Amino acid sequence: MKYLLIMFAFVFAVFSQTYAQDPEQEQVVGEEKVTDEELKKYAVAMDSINDMKATLLKEIGDIVKEDGKMTNARYNELSKIANDDAKLAQAKATEEEKALLKKVAEKKATGTEQINTTFQSLAKDYVGAESYNKIKKALTTDQELKSKYEAMLKELDKSGTKS
């Protein structure tokens, strides 16, 4: 499972304190302003994508767990070489183990495609492409905005609110 966690890890550091929000307040980024409403939509979108990633990771873990024939350690060992038949043969992977690796790979591909489609839709249609790009860029340079964003993510995670 540790390998799966590393493989799917999309880390958003949540270390700031809760920020009292004023809906009219704006963050100035260069000449462009990021409104609280824009930032909230961005945070909701990213939180939703993070939830989808976590769900996919759990589903993949469940596939391995439900199989019951392969230990996590064995899965981690084989997953690193899953696309190399010679190395799988060298590791003495059974046909059942190869089938499980294939099943996990298919689930991962399907889930990743769904996440990417949802991500693109949220970025374009919910947040807005221009706002998304503006906020993404601003988060790399504006520490105050980043702290505010992280506080919003933390609050969304705490409340379970996605809208």
DSSP string, 7-31: HH-------SPP----TT-EEEETT
The tokens of 93 are what? 């992977």
The whole-number pLDDT of residue 22 equals: 39
Looking up tokens 């949220």 gives 122
Q: What is the DSSP secondary structure assignment for residue 69, as one 8-state letter?
A: S
Q: Give the residue extent of every domain in the chain.
A: 35-159
Which segments of the chain have a pLDDT < 50? 1-26, 28-30, 162-163
Q: What is the pLDDT of residue 26?
A: 46
- Determine the pLDDT at residue 57: 94
The per-residue pLDDT for 21 is 35
Question: Alpha-carbon distance 155 to 40, whole Å?
Answer: 11
Give the rounded percent of residues in the chain with a pLDDT score beyond 70.
79
Rounded to the nearest 10 degrees, what angle do helices 129-141 and 36-67 cross at? 90
Q: Tell me, what's the pLDDT at 72?
A: 85
Tell me the pLDDT tens digit for each residue of 100-123: 999 999 999 999 999 999 999 999
Per the structure block, which two tokens stand in for 111?
């889930």
Q: What is the pLDDT of residue 112?
A: 97
